[in-house]
Structure 1
Amino acid sequence: MRRDPRAAALLGPLLAGSDQPHRVRRAAQGLGLPERGRYAVVVLGAPVAVPAVPAVPAVPAVPAVPEGNGERWCWCGRAGVVLLGPGGPAGPVAALAEAGAGPGGVSPVVGGLAELGLARRLAGAALAACGPGSREIVALDERLPAALVASRPELSARLLAEVFGPLLTLDPAERALLVGTLEAWLECGGSVGRAALRLRCHRNTVFNRLRRLERLTSRSLSHPRELVETVLALDALRLSAAGR
């Protein structure tokens, strides 16, 4: 993995959104990277400080992610640029998770260094979808609805209040029970029976909890539009302090 201090100077403007040809050429030549290629950007939630060495400024530590399958890494602060091999971004996501580097967001694949600004913004949106206290590494395409919710906090707060307002007044343990049942039901594809097996309770218990949640939210889980509102509100709750 590259830890070349030149990476910050060369890639920094590109990650900030510049796509000027001379900057792209300079970064490509300075770091030995192709101008066109399959790139992704990773944004970590917080760099890990390393002890300062006399006469040498302290710099953020970056995760020791092995380069394999043709991947090449360059780091610029909390942002990592990876030139992907044939395996795509799944390998880097798994390697970062195994290295305990989270929380982090990973952009979709872009077609060259000139698109790193876009990739940096999308990776930031993926990071925002991780939620408070998360240590996971999230690819944006796996969390698009949550990223949409996180990108508009004022609308997210309004959605949460409108849909889950009465739910938020419950005792935290009672609220967690209803929310956990909803999450299990969604993860089980809307099957009450499978959710009951996962929760180790009777299917009627799951059914009754879901009916109570419907009454509290005034949304029916059997109506597609109202179900969408409920699922988005669930993402808003997970990303909020109330969801901790």
Structure 2
Amino acid sequence: MRRGTRYGALLGPLLAGGARPDLVERAARGLGLPERGRYAVVVLGAPVPEGAVVEGPDVDGARWWWGGADGSPGGAEGRGEGREEVREVAVVLLGPAGPDRVVARLRELGAGPGGVSPVVGSPSEVAAAHRLAGTALLTCEPGSREIVRLDERLPAALLVSRPELSTRLLAEVFGPLLTLVPAERSLLVETLEAWLECGGSVGRAAARLGCHRNTVFNRLRRLERLTARSLSRPRELVDLVLALDVLRLSSAPAGPGGGG
């Protein structure tokens, strides 16, 4: 992985949308980026870990160019917090293992939170990839060290891209749920998450939560009554899953768990 003020200056025209084609071409030549290749952009929401920036290709053959701090909005749109965050950005010429190895490498280094763009085929597409990597970063849970690919988080990416609709969705679907005391709300949310992660199996969710399957069933029925949506109707289940994503991405915690 490479880094330095020279790289940062050259990456500027590539990462910023709207740069003149001749500037993009000149920057790509200065960095040694081939005209055609498999590129991805990484955006981190925290400083690059010690040891992450080294000269030359990594073990997979991928080549990294770190541009240093990116002072673009780091979540104001998706979080509604209105603050500026410094983000670290890298352009990666992918090796044979592709973007999965990029994600694995960043996790090995303890980086995160971070977003990885879809693969693009030329330096002229890096600006678009930069925007998408930033969107992927916004789908990371607050306070986490997740490294995620945009293609794995497309529904959540749609939500963070339209915060006013996300707020409306949360209020419309989970409004009554949000009026509960935090312990009750957290219990129902935790049960729904476990049920979804267990493929809709009440028995497996009960084993994960350490309670009786009837307890899980009763909590889910209560959730259905509060939201006026059925887990057995696919379109209504989509509403619940998307609202759960909005709640997960909110900076406000759901509250401590409780018994029941």
Match status 1:35 vs 2:43: no
- For structure 1, the residue ranges without an aligned partner over 5 or more in a row are 49-59
Number of residue pairs the alignment of both structures matches: 233
Q: 5 Å matches for 1:8-23?
A: 8-18=8-18, 20-23=20-23
- Indicate which of 209, 215, 220 corresponds to 2:219: 209
Report the alpha carbon displacement of residue 18 of structure 1 after superposing the two structures with TM.
3.6
CA distance in 1, matches of 2:152, 2:90: 19
CA deviation string 1:130-177 (max 9, x = no partner) = 021111111111111111111111111111011111111111111111
Which of the residues 137, 140, 144 maps onto 1:127?
A: 137
Q: Is the 8 A contact 1:106 1:123 kept in 2?
A: yes
Does structure 2 retain, via aligned residues, the 8 Å contact 1:38–1:112? yes
Cα drift, residue 25 of structure 1: 2.3
Tell me which residue corresponds to 1:63. 52
1:89 is matched with 99
Residue aligning to 2:110: 100
In the aligned structure 2, how far is the partner of 1:9 from the partner of 1:62? 22
Give the Cα separation in 2 of the matches to 1:21 and 1:156: 36
CA distance in 1, matches of 2:226, 2:52: 45
- The structural deviation recorded for 1:19 is 5.6
Which residue of structure 2 lines up, in the alignment, with residue 138 of structure 1?
A: 148
Structure 2 stretches of 5 or more lacking a match? 69-87, 255-260
Q: Distance in 1 between matches of 2:113 and 2:184?
A: 29
Distance 1:180 1:131 in 2: 15
In structure 2, the partner of 1:73 is 64
Deviation at residue 47 of structure 1 after TM alignment: 2.8
Q: Percent identity?
A: 75
Relative distance call for 1:61 and 1:114 in structure 2 (3 A) is farther
Which amino acid in 2 is paired with 1:167?
Answer: L
Looking at structure 2, the residues matched to 13 and 231 of structure 1 have their Cα atoms a distance apart, in angstroms, of: 38
- Partner Cα distance (2:12, 2:50) in 1: 17
2:4 is matched with: 4
Query: TM-score under structure 2 normalisation?
Result: 0.85
Equivalence for 2:248: 238
Q: After TM superposition, give the deviation of residue 94 of structure 1 in Å.
A: 1.1
Displacement of 1:193: 1.2
Q: What RMSD over aligned residues (CA atoms) do the two structures have, in Å?
A: 1.8
Aligned pairs for 1:173-184 (under 5 A) are 173-184=183-194
In structure 2, what is the Cα distance between the partners aligned to 1:131 and 1:154?
18
2:10 maps to amino acid: L
